[in-house]
Chain A
Amino acid sequence: GQQLNQSPQSMFIQEGEDVSMNCTSSSIFNTWLWYKQEPGEGPVLLIALYKAGELTSNGRLTAQFGITRKDSFLNISASIPSDVGIYFCAGQLRRGNTPLVFGKGTRLSVIA
């Protein structure tokens, strides 16, 4: 099946630092999404991207849909302790009623 390569696998950062993670694929995706999962919870949608080259922000989070449609990145600026969690990228091959393909996740730890 389709696979998304997400990196880094884990990050340990100081509070206040910026964070960057990315996702790549050998296939073209029409939609890229970024989710955050905290312990004991389901993934929560952070940002959805629908057009190649699109750059979207949600508070301190910024994500971009790569021009080639084969990659996306997520940046978190000025990290805070509540940013701790696992961040997943997800792609949709065809827009519409098709399920998502997920990356393996980036586990973020923030040291106060």
Chain B
Amino acid sequence: SAVISQKPSRDICQRGTSLTIQCQVDSQVTMMFWYRQQPGQSLTLIATANQGSEATYESGFVIDKFPISRPNLTFSTLTVSNMSPEDSSIYLCSVLGTSGVYNEQFFGPGTRLTVL
């Protein structure tokens, strides 16, 4: 399985500001994803981070609000722009790794964001 770290682990931000979250994986992976988990809710996919090209966003998420970078196969960033209290969530990085025969999806520890 892949070991995934995220920075920061948590942050409290003022509305109108932006926060960039970093995701580092200990091995090269093909697929990286960013999820949002609102308080008490399940996980919702924001986008697939594509290495060397623009991220693929899910319905309801746009690049201007959640710009994503993926400069190589082990690192990605997610920026939450012009934040409002509704952006208060846990943001999770996820990768597709190999465990045996099939690929399986693993998650980082998450970044807990509170917007005041």
Which residues of A are interface residues toward B (Cβ below 8 A)? Answer: 1, 31, 33, 35, 40-45, 48, 50, 88, 90, 95-97, 99-100, 102-105
Contact = CB atoms under 8 A, between A and B. Distances in A.
Q: Per DSSP, are chain A's interface residues mostly helix, strand or loop, or mixed?
A: loop
* Nearest 6 interchain pairs by C-beta: A42-B107, A104-B42, A102-B43, A102-B42, A42-B110, A43-B107
Contacts of B109: 40-42
Nearest to A88: B42
Interface in B78-116: 92, 94, 96, 99, 102-110, 112
9 contacts: A1-B58, A1-B59, A40-B109, A42-B107, A42-B108, A97-B30, A99-B94, A99-B105, A104-B41
Contacts of A99: 31, 33, 45, 48, 94, 105
B105 A100 contact: yes
A44 B104 CA distance: 11
Contact of A45 (B31, B43, B106): B106
A13 B45 CA distance: 31
B107 A44 contact: yes
Contacts, number: 53
A105 B42 contact: yes
A106 to B, nearest CB: 11
Contacts of B30: 97
A30 to B, nearest CB: 10
Interface centre among B4, B59, B92, B103 (most CB of A within 10 A): B103
A108 B30 CA distance: 34
